[in-house]
């Protein structure tokens, strides 16, 4: 013999389910009232209160035997339940940053619609077009509700309006570029009771009442206690195009949008992992208010890191890392810094050259005067010649500094420049005497043509002033090197070669190598001295875009003197 469930047990089960929804909804109101955003707070509190009261009327309805009191409570529940739709729309509009909930016309239409349907529900005992009830004894004594035409009109309108709210939420989730499947699943809970409604209407499995209060309560409580961090993060950053990473209060990754996953590929699948374990992200955690650089599509870009905490219920629930792309500003700032450094170098270089040069000229002139007094005309002539040579060198130094001043700004546009032809043109502009120049490699360099030629001119002029007999200019995959066999200074600091205020390795070198570095930097390249080379000076320029000639052979040597 099949055992049937006890009638009182089934009734108690229904009462407990709706009571639990009531307690969960109304019990969550104090926490919802701590939400900072006013519109979101009001909307969510309204949803919680309405769904809680609606669930309470259902609990009372199934607890009472069929009668006038049960019928009156059911009508009251219908009136309260219809208000959840408008509270839901208010919440969705405020949460997604829209202003629909403040629109006077929409508010009047909503109020009028609500009052009209409430009036229809309250007068149902007179017209009976909204629902009728019949007492039934299974699975326990209660009113079986048969819904009429006006009920289905109101239900259809409710679900259409609810769908509008869902559309606003999902659009916000999409714009946030987060993996919001879990959040979306929570929103879908509001629609799940529809199946229970249909099951109760079409089969005897469930009693025929409206189960929507359960779905609305599950959503509202879930927002507050389960997915509060995700909902708040979407609201905070849903329309932010920058990279956003959400951490919990223990520093673990909760979520990241598409922009963040592109910057830090290790964020893919890193939910729940400590942020310090994500490659690249750990380095940024100490950069709050600072700038970090990341490689994006092979280009170095700069991001300002801002960290902000957000809380609910008086306690912190997470941190939001926002990476704002400040590449253009940071490049300008670095350009200004470089120019300031360059100007300081100019000042020091000019002071050094003029002070030393004038002292040398004055010394030779005094020497010439002394030799004339002694009748040594030839010695006096030689002294004046040296003084004239020093004056010429000072003139060249001023020209070099003028070159840097003219071409010292960062290159905005480049062209493919023939390597050998540019070296040959630079060779023609420098008096190298008997110094030979060997050019190795055929190809092109992405550069500003005039500045590249000036760079080679200064590199060759440096070699000529250090008593070099030969210079080798070689093209490499990431740049080029200029090697000479002239005077060297093994113990010199590498940076001293590029200091406008020093004269390394000889006084005659003046500002040639500092100018080489400056003209390299304006292209985004680096210029260093190879400290492992001891037979002269080897200047290495790298970070260069090079395109070798397609000759099919190894790069051949060519002489710029030929």
Structure tokens at 337: 């810094």
| pLDDT for the residue numbered 500 | 64
| pLDDT for the residue numbered 558 | 40
| pLDDT for the residue numbered 476 | 93
| pLDDT for the residue numbered 179 | 57
Task: Give which of 464, 336, 468 is closest to 409, Cα–Cα.
Answer: 336
| pLDDT for the residue numbered 509 | 65
What is the residue extent of each domain of the chain?
7-235, 240-325, 332-559
| pLDDT for the residue numbered 561 | 44
| pLDDT for the residue numbered 554 | 46
In CATH, 240-325 is 3.30.450.20: yes
In the three-class reduction of DSSP (H, G, I as helix; E, B as strand; rest coil), residue 67 is classed as: coil
The label of the residue with tokens 């002070």 reads 355
Query: Which burial class, exposed, middle or buried, applies to 218 when counting CB atoms under 10 A from its CB (0-12, 13-18, 19+)?
Result: buried
Structure tokens at 402: 């003028």
| pLDDT for the residue numbered 313 | 47
**Cα 14 from Cα 137, distance rounded (Å):** 15
211 and 59 in contact (C-beta within 8 Å)?
Answer: no
**Cα 335 from Cα 331, distance rounded (Å):** 6
**Cα 188 from Cα 167, distance rounded (Å):** 11
**CB environment 124-157: b (16+ within 10 A), e (fewer):** beeeeebbebeeeeebbebbbbebeebbeebbee
| Cβ-based neighbours of 9, under 8 Å, separated by 6 or more | none
Note the CATH architecture for domain 332-559: 2-Layer Sandwich (3.30)
| pLDDT for the residue numbered 1 | 38
The secondary structure of 256-304 as a DSSP string is E-HHHHHH-GGGTT-TTSBGGGSTTTGGGTT-TTSEEEEEETTEEEEEE
444 and 546 in contact (C-beta within 8 Å)?
Answer: yes
> Which residues of the chain fall short of a pLDDT of 50?
1-5, 312-314, 552-562
| pLDDT for the residue numbered 2 | 44
In CATH, 7-235 is 2.40.350: no
**Cα 473 from Cα 555, distance rounded (Å):** 12
166 and 190 in contact (C-beta within 8 Å)?
Answer: yes
């Amino acid at each position: 013999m099949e055992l049937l469930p006890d009638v009182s047990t089934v009734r108690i089960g229904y009462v407990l389910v709706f009571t639990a929804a009531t307690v969960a909804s109304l019990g969550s109101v104090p926490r919802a009232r701590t939400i900072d955003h006013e519109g979101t707070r009001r909307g969510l509190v309204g949803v919680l209160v309405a769904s809680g009261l609606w669930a309470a009327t259902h609990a009372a309805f199934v607890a009472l035997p069929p009668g006038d009191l049960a019928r009156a409570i059911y009508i009251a529940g219908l009136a309260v339940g219809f208000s959840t739709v408008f509270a839901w729309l208010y919440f969705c509009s405020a949460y997604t940053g829209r202003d629909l909930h403040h629109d006077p016309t929409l508010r009047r239409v909503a109020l009028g619609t609500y009052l009209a349907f409430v009036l229809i529900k309250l007068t149902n005992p007179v017209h009976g077009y909204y629902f009728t009830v019949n007492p039934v004894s299974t699975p326990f004594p209660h009113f079986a509700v048969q819904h009429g035409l006006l009920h289905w009109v109101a239900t259809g309108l409710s679900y259409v309006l609810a769908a509008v709210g869902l559309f606003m939420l999902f659009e916000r989730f999409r714009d946030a570029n987060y993996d919001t499947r879990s959040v979306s699943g929570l929103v879908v809970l509001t629609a799940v009771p529809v199946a229970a409604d249909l099951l109760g209407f079409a089969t005897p499995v469930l009693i025929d009442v409206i189960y929507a209060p359960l779905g609305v309560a599950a959503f509202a409580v879930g927002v507050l206690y389960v997915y509060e961090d995700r909902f708040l993060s979407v609201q905070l950053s849903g329309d932010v195009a920058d990279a956003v990473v959400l951490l919990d209060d223990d520093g673990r990754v909760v979520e990241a949008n598409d922009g963040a996953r592109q910057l830090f590929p290790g964020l893919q699948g890193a939910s729940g992992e400590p942020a310090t374990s994500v490659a690249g992200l750990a380095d940024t955690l100490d950069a709050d208010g600072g700038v970090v650089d990341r490689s994006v599509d092979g280009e170095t870009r700069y991001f300002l890191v801002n960290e902000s905490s957000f809380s609910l219920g008086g306690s912190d629930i997470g941190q939001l890392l926002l990476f704002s792309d400040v590449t253009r500003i940071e490049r300008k700032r670095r350009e200004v810094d470089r120019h300031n450094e360059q100007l300081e170098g100019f000042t020091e270089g000019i002071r050094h050259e003029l002070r030393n040069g004038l002292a040398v000229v004055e010394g030779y002139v005094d020497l010439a005067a002394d030799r004339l007094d002694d009748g040594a005309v030839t010695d006096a002539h030689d002294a004046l010649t040296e003084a004239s040579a020093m004056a010429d060198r000072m003139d060249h130094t001023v020209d070099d500094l003028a070159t840097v001043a003219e071409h010292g700004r960062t290159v905005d546009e480049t062209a493919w420049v023939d390597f050998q032809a540019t070296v040959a043109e630079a060779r023609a502009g420098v008096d190298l005497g008997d110094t030979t120049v060997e050019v190795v490699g055929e190809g092109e360099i992405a550069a500003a043509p005039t500045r590249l030629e000036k760079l080679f001119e200064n590199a060759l002029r440096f070699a000529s002033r250090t008593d070099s007999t030969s210079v080798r200019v070689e093209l490499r995959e990431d740049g080029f090197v200029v090697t000479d066999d002239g005077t060297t200074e093994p113990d010199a600091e590498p940076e001293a070669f590029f200091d406008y205020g020093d004269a390394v390795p000889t006084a005659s070198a003046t500002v040639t190598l500092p100018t080489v570095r400056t003209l390299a930097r304006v292209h985004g390249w680096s210029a260093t001295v190879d400290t492992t080379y001891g037979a002269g000076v080897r200047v290495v320029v790298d970070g260069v875009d090079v395109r070798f000639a397609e000759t099919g052979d190894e790069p051949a040597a060519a002489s710029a003197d030929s």
